[in-house]
A and B are shown apart, each in its own frame.
Chain A
Amino acid sequence: MELTEREYKALEDIVGVEYISKDLAIRDTYNQVWGNKLVFGEKWSPRPVAVLLPGNTEEIQAIVKVCNRYGIQFKPFSSGFEITAIGLASEKGIMLDLKRMDRILEIDVKNMHAVVEPYVSVHRLQLEVAKYGLYYGAVAAGPSAGVIASSCCHAGSGQTNVFAGAIERNVLGAEWVLPTGEIIKLGTAASGDGWFSADGPGMSLRGVLRGHCGANGGHGVITKASVKLYPWYGPSELERSGEIPALRAVKKVPDQYKVFVISFPTQDNGFDALAEIGKAEIAYSDYQIPLPPGGNLCEGNDEMWENMQKLDPAAAKMFATMVIVILGANSSREMEYREKYLLKILEKFGGILLPPLNDPMVHAGMFDASMFSFGSVRHVFRLTSDFFINPCADGSEGLCKNLHKAAKEVMGPYWSNGTILQVGSAIFHPVYENYTVGSHHEDMYMYDPYDPDSLEGTRELIGKTVDPNGKFRRLCVPCLGGGLQFEPVNHIHETWGSIYDNYDVWQRQIKAALDPNNVADWGCYIPPVYP
């Protein structure tokens, strides 16, 4: 399907000829992202009929109105680095690439928040606010993740959630172009008196903005957001060494921080310790991750494999139940207390600090990996080309433990038969907010979409994890509340909604209410009526 001349011209009149294209070459660069082969059977998701580069909120509003007039679906995105970012449910869909909207509008140092546009990345914001002794929490997707994308539009967790908040809970304001073309500002942003609260008057419309996951553009375009900032104890600029970026790390962990890479005798010990460390209110970072055996700083896969082969099997096993804790402190007294408490917890749960995992170079690499999520792309994509993260949940440790247990049972055969990367337990498990709202848990698997056996095996595996009558039925809605999937293909909301208190019924009504003409692409949100 193509836009008519009139439709195209109406859009061109808004953004200018330079910022719209219907050229096939341009369009085919907006439908290729990791995960596509899994979902669509090929590298390409449906091709947009045009791509636009709007420059500001008013242009987006005008575009949305045109979409309503002509029945064109739109989908906004920033970095576009997610399987849900650029998948279109519609044959007549346009992409709104928000790359031109890249300003950091305000940093309120005293009141610890920043207001940004969609194309501001997490690390760019981190860099900027570090000058003021502030920090924005890492997003596991990596330093290029969009601040607005992760906090408002999608989902995600991060290595420093224990200290810097669960990402969903850090939104203090938003400006939002609704699918009708109206612009809403949440909370204080509407009054012009600052962007410090998105809740009210009355009910909090953050509840419409997102839930477990955001709407992935399915209910409009978030054009500005205010996000909460946290204390940063380190210097405003960190010195790094190493010429090859993949091997670069801080020269030394800043004095105000200490890194601990902890091994536990059992996974359950690890989970319990993660929660205890959270509850102790001492950690800046508190999570489990499978450190690539061979080190987190490896130039490439070949080098990593070489390192791995040098490890003895016992050492390799260490990596399976490894918890990263970083303590940050404002004073030496505070650090002393925190470290003392941490060691007490380790003693209680049998946690040990193995020398190979705790040398200064490993610590430096883990500091960067934890604070800024450096290396996340290389760890989940470079190894095999692609990865997926269902089962995943946000919940209490009990839920996470059971989820992991079920995941291990289901994934085991696929590790054994080589369908997915055999790293054993590929857990990413950060604790949220001093373990006061639970933790995040993912069992990741790395697969090769271009290896037919791997692809089919992975599909089969995912099928088991999203089977509403399978092992995970009682645990949680898959794919982070349905937001990390493509509804027209995976039907998570349709198949799980009735099992989970009919949440989908409400969500569809929200969609219908906000988007009467169904112009905001629903592929990664929900349709008003299931097709």
Chain B
Amino acid sequence: MSLETYKHDMLRCTRCSYCKWIPFENFRQSDFIKGCPSVAKYHWHAYSAGGKFNIALSFLEGRIPYSEPFLNAVYQCQMDGSCDVSCKSVQDIEPLQLMQELRMRCVEDGQVIPAHTPMIDCLRKEDNMMQRLKADRGKWAKSLDVKDLTKEEAEVYFHAGCKYSFDEGLGHVARDGLTLLREARVDVGIMGQAEMCCGGRAYELGYGGELAKYASRHKKALEKAGVKTIVTPCSHCYQTMKVLYDKVGQKLGMEVLHITEYLDRLIREGKIKLRKPVPLTVTYHDPCHLGRLAEPWVHWNGKETKVLGQMIVHDPPKKFRRGANGVYDVPRNILNSLPGLKFVEMYRIRASAWCCGSGGGVKEAYPEFAIWTAKDRIREAKSIGAEAILSACPYCTQNFKDTIKETGEKLKVFDVIELVQQSI
């Protein structure tokens, strides 16, 4: 794939601007109808997916050089995919894929964001994006009696992810998740210090090579450990291992599940019993990487053709990923199973969820934009009377916590795992 691959889409973008909103069919409350944080904050059309189509086309045609506004439009974007869902509600073109290629082209041409460079350098040296030493990885699982997959085999590999591995404030969530599996007698192991980044976040920043590298390394290591199922509490890793590896032709030959999927399974099998009430009014924030971005990859190799004179179809038919097949119901099932919990939905949910603000390298490079984005989500949660906002991704929960700390808003933040743990 290259930027040129999407020239067809660039030409066909009509400037309908649906990419700026959640799909109109999903509008419920007029205060909460925006979909794209970038254009909502910065206003320039360049910040929308439509604008990126325009920029990419002009760039390909030699009409515009790189510039700071060009790069701001490219990188001040969480790559959350809301635009993609909205655009594809009315068109058969691929905005998010185009934006990914555009980033990769920028990186290829050396047009990178200084704030991202240390993350990538660290990744290349220390196998993590957190700018921490590889040697410190695995400390989150200290004194947990669990299989070490560098030495033993297990059916299930619990992949904590860089964020949970190194963030002391969040590590307990990974511990809780793993403990739940162990207590349910799941044959589970971890890689400990040998755990490595999935490569997904780097890919999202435009560093395409890292993804393939980590896909290959994971495949090798996990096959060797006899793993049948990967379980991760990190939505980003989930999406990377399930979808992105497949995209780049490195599909892992094993089941990839988010921990909520596995917990849901265990709850339904009776292996986890939710007994204690959790008396709280909560709302659930769909992480982008668990929701719309986690829709399985669809390979297609064909050509565009025309019928009825000018109607554009594909041969063979092309199944577009329109965001419907992400993981939406499973976390909700879990929440609805928690005794005493009152669950209220926000207005922008499922494939139309407003991003937490953290993705796409924004948290690192444009922290005030990340906070700005989260503020709107918190406002939305408060507007429906929630006492707590739940998510299933460490990046989401961290950003919400950071924002609440800054604003002093009274809203609790939890991961789904934490409430399950409370109810055991």
Point out residues on A near B: beta carbons under 8 Å.
19, 21, 23-26, 28-30, 32-34, 43-44, 51, 53, 79-81, 86, 97, 99-100, 104, 123-124, 127-128, 142-144, 237, 240, 242-246, 248-249, 299-303, 305-306, 368, 372, 374-375, 377-378, 381-386, 415, 417-423, 446-451, 454
B100 CB to closest chain A CB (Å) equals: 18
Interface residue? B14 (CB, 8 A): yes
In the complex, A53→B45 CA distance in Å? 10
In the complex, A142→B21 CA distance in Å? 13
In the complex, A192→B64 CA distance in Å? 48
Interface residue? B89 (CB, 8 A): yes
| CB neighbours of B55 from chain A (8 A) | 25, 28-29
* In the complex with contacts A24-B67, A32-B13, A305-B311, A124-B27 CB distance below 8 A: yes
* In the complex with contacts A29-B46, A245-B26, A383-B312 CB distance below 8 A: yes
| CB neighbours of A242 from chain B (8 A) | 25
B363 CB to closest chain A CB (Å) equals: 22
Cβ A28 vs Cβ B64 within 8 A: yes
* In the complex with contacts A28-B58, A305-B307, A374-B25, A53-B44 CB distance below 8 A: yes
Q: Which of B43, B310, B313 has the most CB of A within 10 A?
A: B310
Cβ A24 vs Cβ B309 within 8 A: no
Which of B314-322, B382-390, B409-417 lies at the binding interface?
A: B314-322
* In the complex with contacts A246-B322, A305-B311, A420-B309, A33-B44 CB distance below 8 A: no
| CB neighbours of A420 from chain B (8 A) | 309-310
Question: B16, B313, B352: which contacts A377 (Cβ < 8 A)?
Answer: B16
Cβ B25 vs Cβ A240 within 8 A: yes
* In the complex with contacts A384-B312, A421-B310, A100-B43 CB distance below 8 A: yes
Cβ B309 vs Cβ A32 within 8 A: no
Q: What are the 4 tightest A-B residue pairs by CB atom distance, in nearest-first order?
A: A245-B89, A245-B23, A418-B309, A34-B14
| CB neighbours of B253 from chain A (8 A) | none
Point out residues on B near A: beta carbons under 8 Å.
8, 11-18, 21, 23-30, 33, 43-46, 50-51, 53-55, 57-59, 63-65, 67-70, 73, 85-86, 88-92, 306-314, 317-320, 322-325, 328, 350-352
Q: Which of A100, A245, A417 has the most CB of B within 10 A?
A: A245
Question: B27, B43, B70, B324: which contacts A244 (Cβ < 8 A)?
Answer: B324
Q: Which of A25, A30, A33, A123 has the most CB of B within 10 A?
A: A25
Question: B11, B12, B43, B351: which contacts A243 (Cβ < 8 A)?
Answer: B351
Cβ B24 vs Cβ A421 within 8 A: no
In the complex formed, the residue of B with least CB distance to A378 is B90
**Seed contacts A97-B44, A383-B310, A447-B310; 5 additional CB < 8 Å A-B pairs:** A32-B53, A244-B322, A245-B86, A245-B322, A377-B91
In the complex formed, the residue of A with least CB distance to B86 is A245
Question: B16, B57, B58, B308: which contacts A81 (Cβ < 8 A)?
Answer: B16
Can you spell out 14 A-B residue pairs with CB atoms less than 8 angstroms apart?
A24-B64, A25-B59, A26-B46, A28-B58, A29-B45, A33-B15, A81-B14, A97-B45, A127-B30, A242-B25, A243-B350, A244-B324, A385-B12, A420-B310
Cβ B67 vs Cβ A23 within 8 A: yes
Cβ B309 vs Cβ A301 within 8 A: no
Cβ A302 vs Cβ B314 within 8 A: yes
In the complex formed, the residue of B with least CB distance to A125 is B30
Cβ A454 vs Cβ B43 within 8 A: no
Cβ B54 vs Cβ A144 within 8 A: no
Q: Which of B65, B68, B308 has the most CB of A within 10 A?
A: B308
Cβ B17 vs Cβ A381 within 8 A: no
| CB neighbours of A368 from chain B (8 A) | 25
| CB neighbours of B43 from chain A (8 A) | 19, 53, 97, 99-100
Cβ A245 vs Cβ B16 within 8 A: no
Question: A53, A80, A299: which contacts B320 (Cβ < 8 A)?
Answer: A299
* In the complex with contacts A28-B63, A301-B92, A422-B308 CB distance below 8 A: yes
A29 CB to closest chain B CB (Å) equals: 4
Cβ A418 vs Cβ B45 within 8 A: no
In the complex, A28→B73 CA distance in Å? 13
Cβ B311 vs Cβ A248 within 8 A: no
Question: A19, A24, A143, A386: which contacts B63 (Cβ < 8 A)?
Answer: A24
| CB neighbours of A382 from chain B (8 A) | 90-92
Question: A32, A300, A386, A447: which contacts B92 (Cβ < 8 A)?
Answer: A300
* In the complex with contacts A97-B43, A144-B24, A243-B351, A26-B17 CB distance below 8 A: no
Cβ B309 vs Cβ A80 within 8 A: no
B55 CB to closest chain A CB (Å) equals: 5
In the complex, A19→B69 CA distance in Å? 12
In the complex, A372→B25 CA distance in Å? 9
Cβ A381 vs Cβ B320 within 8 A: no
| CB neighbours of B28 from chain A (8 A) | 127, 237
Cβ B24 vs Cβ A123 within 8 A: yes
Cβ A26 vs Cβ B63 within 8 A: no
| CB neighbours of B46 from chain A (8 A) | 25-26, 29
B54 CB to closest chain A CB (Å) equals: 4
* In the complex with contacts A81-B17, A421-B310, A29-B54 CB distance below 8 A: yes
Q: Which of B24, B324, B328 has the most CB of A within 10 A?
A: B24
Cβ B26 vs Cβ A144 within 8 A: no
Cβ A245 vs Cβ B317 within 8 A: no
Cβ A44 vs Cβ B63 within 8 A: yes
